């Protein structure tokens, strides 16, 4: 054990011992230095130093009762205001804040901050950490998130709860202008910090998925709606790929990855229905079923020449067409 690690270990042991000593003294059994030394398996001189630390560091009202031959607190309400966090607990706390990134620009962000604030307010002034874990040793990289209007977010959830039809302007990703929509909101889906609502669109007379960030001027009407019979959210998008709506039947997608991405492909779960195996030559076979051919194509293109589409033929043609379009950009 290095000198630094030894010092850290001794500090943690001392902190734990003092916290336990505080409990013993508060119990009213009037322990003396000898008894405390036997209890914690340390010398009397170590206990005396700990007692001095209690007085100096924590301002403990520590007194010695010569009749009972032991220590006690002259103020019976005194207790060390300290919380001992384990390494796992500290890691959990450290990870919470980055995970809340997906709720940015939504009312939930402020709500979670308020909750954390309330938790912090009831914690004691001192928090002892039983770990060498330091918060800045771990970093989280989040995707750029779209801005969501606070009113849109709140009204969508409210309309779902009370089952009221909403009206709003919507700008699709292909358009520059907003189109008026009348909509029965069924469910909200969050995909990596991007928020969507799925329901029945009166304009299209069909189920549609709208991104909350592209909605404006939302209004809850007085008209109620009922979720149509047979509606199943899983039928409208692939939960492994995302919220892109497709009415097509799932197809078996078969891919072959080159050796240079062997480990990367094998170590991940890409789809709930996937079959993955390593071939003798080091290439990797991956297959799964999905109706999201367009999104599959975009994902496949991320691997460049490290992947080849085996099936279905329709997806092969889509990849070829996309490559041709890319070539024209660089002529």
CB atoms within 10 A of CB 44: 14
What's the whole-number mean pLDDT along residues 147-156? 89
Res 83: pLDDT = 58
DSSP 8-state secondary structure symbol assigned to residue 227: P
CB atoms within 10 A of CB 173: 6
Res 262: pLDDT = 92
Give 197's contacts (C-beta < 8 A, 6+ positions apart): 156, 160, 183, 185, 186, 187, 188, 189, 209, 210, 212
- Read off the pTM: 0.54
Res 62: pLDDT = 92
Please provide the average confidence, as pLDDT, over all residues in the chain. 82
For the segment 24-46, what is each residue's pLDDT rounded down to a tens digit?
999 889 999 999 999 999 999 99
For the segment 271-325, what is each residue's pLDDT rounded down to a tens digit?
888 999 999 999 999 999 988 888 889 889 999 999 999 999 999 999 999 999 9
């Amino acid at each position: 054990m290095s000198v630094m690690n030894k010092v850290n270990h001794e500090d943690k042991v001392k902190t734990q011992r003092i916290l336990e000593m505080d409990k013993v003294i508060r119990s009213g059994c009037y322990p003396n230095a000898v008894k405390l030394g036997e209890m914690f398996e340390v010398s009397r001189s170590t206990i005396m130093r700990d007692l001095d630390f209690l007085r100096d560091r924590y301002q403990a009202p520590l007194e010695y009762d010569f009749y009972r031959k032991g220590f006690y607190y002259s103020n019976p309400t005194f207790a060390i205001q300290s919380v001992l966090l384990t390494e796992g607990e500290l890691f959990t706390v450290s990870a919470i804040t980055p995970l809340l990134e997906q709720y940015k620009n939504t009312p939930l962000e402020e709500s979670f901050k308020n909750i954390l604030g309330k938790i912090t307010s009831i914690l004691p002034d001192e928090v002892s950490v039983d770990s060498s874990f330091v918060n800045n040793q771990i970093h989280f990289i989040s995707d750029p998130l779209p801005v969501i209007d606070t009113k849109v977010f709140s009204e969508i959830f409210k309309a779902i709860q009370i089952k009221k039809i909403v009206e709003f302007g919507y700008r699709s990703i292909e358009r520059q202008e907003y189109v008026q929509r009348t909509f029965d909101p069924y469910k909200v889906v969050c995909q990596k910090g991007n928020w969507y609502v799925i329901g029945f669109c009166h304009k299209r007379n069909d189920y549609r998925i709208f991104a909350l960030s592209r909605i404006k001027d939302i209004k809850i009407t007085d008209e109620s709606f009922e979720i149509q019979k047979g509606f199943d959210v899983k039928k409208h998008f692939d939960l492994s790929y995302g919220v892109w709506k497709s009415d097509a039947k799932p197809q078996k997608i078969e891919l072959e990855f080159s050796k240079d991405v062997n480990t990367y492909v094998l170590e991940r779960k890409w789809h709930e229905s996937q079959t993955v195996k390593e071939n003798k030559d080091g290439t990797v076979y991956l297959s799964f079923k999905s109706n999201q051919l367009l999104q599959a194509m975009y994902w496949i293109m991320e691997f460049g020449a490290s992947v080849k589409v085996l099936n279905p033929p329709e997806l092969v043609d889509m990849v070829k067409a996309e490559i041709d379009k890319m070539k024209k950009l660089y002529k």
